[in-house]
């Protein structure tokens, strides 16, 4: 049997180092030469568009292939149940953390914001929001990346039909499997230019919005970003430990950086799905688990968004001299945060709809809308980073539920056997 050589530090972490290096250089360009940072924006847009063009086929093919090739429907039910349970579990923990945090450190202390009047668009009814979140009116609308939740539902039903008509051995099953392999190769090609694309994108970001970020909203950043960091440092390793023990923590730390960096730089959970898929494959998460958990996580697993929603609510309470206290207030904040993150993320314009929901349900004046819209932009990099990188860990937790406590040891042993 051939001996397995350990990879060097550079070989293990080359991708995140190059991506972080690109972002750092881009940020420096945005500060030192903002004009040039704006000029190179098209390079970042091209990279982002390449990722977006592959997201929809990746989500559809991976889910339809996973469900269609699953002869054991009991396993499918276990994966879906474990996924929902994991999302709810981490969402509740995130809500508890942020409520404690904003009571210790007010996000609005010392802030002075000129509240110009603003018009808030007409809010939809609960029924209209439900319909627009779960379905679309035309088949062609399924292929719009803003309709991710309807696409996931369609892909699951399509997969059931493939399973009923021969499964993975049917012509359609084989076609889906081949398409899945081709799509992942396409992703690998795109990620070769990630440092350049992310650097250019970040250069324009800093050049355009740097002064605004440093200004009146600085206090909210000082509250929110350390909260996100603490959540990552404390709870991500805890979740990984629950998923695979000490080996789970080591493995998570080894592969979590590319999804985290991509999500932070692109501010898009959808654009991070391909990178998350690679991370899960490297960790040893079964394909049928990651193919279901990652797309669902893109629209439903929103720990970072839950944190940001409650910080926004606490910020508005402070701006309008209201007391953010009481069980009813906290309960309403949690419900609105989970609703805006868990459900409305699947609706077109879900982010702004969620912010409109906050304004209307807490009876804030219309002038509050542009404030939290700005906060949404400022918080988005960290929120997306938590949302998307958390999907990788959620996949590990669901695998623990489906495969048992020794799943990671078996996966590592199988990988060594393949490499030998």
Mean pLDDT per 10-residue run, the chain (420 residues)? 51 72 85 89 86 81 80 80 89 90 80 48 60 82 79 87 85 89 84 84 78 62 90 94 92 90 81 88 90 84 86 85 83 78 49 66 72 77 88 94 89 77
The Cα 33–Cα 200 span in angstroms is 12
The Cα 330–Cα 333 span in angstroms is 5
The Cα 94–Cα 89 span in angstroms is 9
The Cα 383–Cα 225 span in angstroms is 9
Q: What is the pLDDT of residue 347?
A: 43
Q: What is the pLDDT of residue 194?
A: 82
Domain spans of the chain, in order of start: 12-419
The Cα 13–Cα 15 span in angstroms is 6
Q: What is the pLDDT of residue 3?
A: 41
Q: What is the pLDDT of residue 419?
A: 67
Q: Which CATH superfamily is domain 12-419 in?
A: Sodium:dicarboxylate symporter (1.10.3860.10)
Q: What is the pLDDT of residue 322?
A: 81
The Cα 313–Cα 100 span in angstroms is 14
- Exposure class string for 186-211: b at 16+ Cβ within 10 A, else e: bbeebbeebbbbbbbbbbbbbbeeee
Q: What pTM does this model have? A: 0.71
Exposed/middle/buried for residue 155 (C-beta within 10 Å: 0-12, 13-18, 19+): buried
Q: Rounded to the nearest 5 degrees, what angle is found at the Cα of 66, between the Cα atoms of 60 and 70?
A: 145
Q: What is the pLDDT of residue 346?
A: 44
**Helix, strand, coil percent content, the chain, rounded in steps of 5:** 80, 0, 20
CB atoms within 10 A of CB 354: 26
Residue 215: partners with Cβ closer than 8 Å, 6 or more residues away: none
């Amino acid at each position: 049997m051939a001996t397995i050589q350990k990879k060097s530090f550079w070989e293990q972490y080359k991708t995140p180092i190059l991506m972080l290096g690109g972002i750092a250089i881009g940020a420096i360009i945005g500060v030192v030469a903002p004009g040039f940072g704006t000029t190179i924006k098209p390079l970042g847009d091209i990279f982002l568009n390449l990722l977006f063009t592959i997201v929809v086929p990746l989500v559809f093919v991976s889910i339809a292939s996973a469900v269609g090739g699953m002869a054991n429907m009991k396993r499918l039910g276990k994966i879906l149940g474990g996924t929902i349970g994991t999302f709810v579990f981490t969402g509740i923990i995130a809500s508890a953390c942020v409520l404690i945090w904003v009571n210790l450190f007010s996000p609005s202390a010392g802030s002075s914001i000129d509240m110009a009047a603003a018009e808030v668009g007409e809010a939809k009814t609960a029924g209209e929001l439900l319909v627009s979140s779960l379905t679309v009116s035309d088949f062609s609308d399924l292929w719009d990346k803003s309709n991710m939740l309807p696409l996931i539902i369609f892909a699951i039903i399509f997969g059931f039909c493939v399973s009923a008509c021969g499964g993975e051995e049917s012509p359609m099953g084989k076609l889906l499997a081949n398409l899945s392999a081709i799509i992942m190769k396409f992703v690998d090609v795109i990620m070769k230019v990630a440092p350049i694309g992310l650097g250019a994108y970040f250069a324009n970001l800093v050049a355009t919005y740097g002064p605004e970020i440093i200004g009146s909203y600085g206090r909210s950043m000082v509250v929110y970003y350390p909260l996100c960091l603490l959540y990552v440092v404390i709870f991500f390793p805890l979740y990984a430990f629950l998923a695979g023990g000490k080996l789970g923590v080591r493995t998570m730390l080894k592969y979590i950086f590319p999804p985290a960096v991509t999500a932070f730089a692109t501010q898009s959970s959808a654009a991070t799905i391909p990178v998350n898929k690679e991370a899960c494959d490297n960790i040893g998460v079964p394909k049928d688990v990651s193919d279901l958990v990652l797309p669902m996580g893109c629209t439903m697993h929103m720990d970072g968004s839950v944190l940001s929603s409650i910080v926004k609510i606490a910020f508005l309470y402070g701006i309008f001299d209201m007391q953010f206290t009481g069980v009813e207030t906290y309960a309403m904040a949690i419900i609105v945060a989970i609703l805006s993150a868990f459900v409305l993320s699947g609706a077109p314009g879900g982010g702004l709809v969620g912010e409109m929901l906050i304004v209307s349900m807490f009876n804030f004046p219309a002038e509050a809308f542009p404030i939290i819209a700005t906060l949404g932009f400022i918080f988005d990099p960290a929120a997306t980073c938590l949302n998307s990188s958390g999907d990788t860990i959620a996949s590990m937790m669901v695998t623990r539920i489906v495969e048992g406590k020794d799943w990671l040891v078996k996966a590592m042993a199988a990988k060594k056997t393949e490499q030998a």
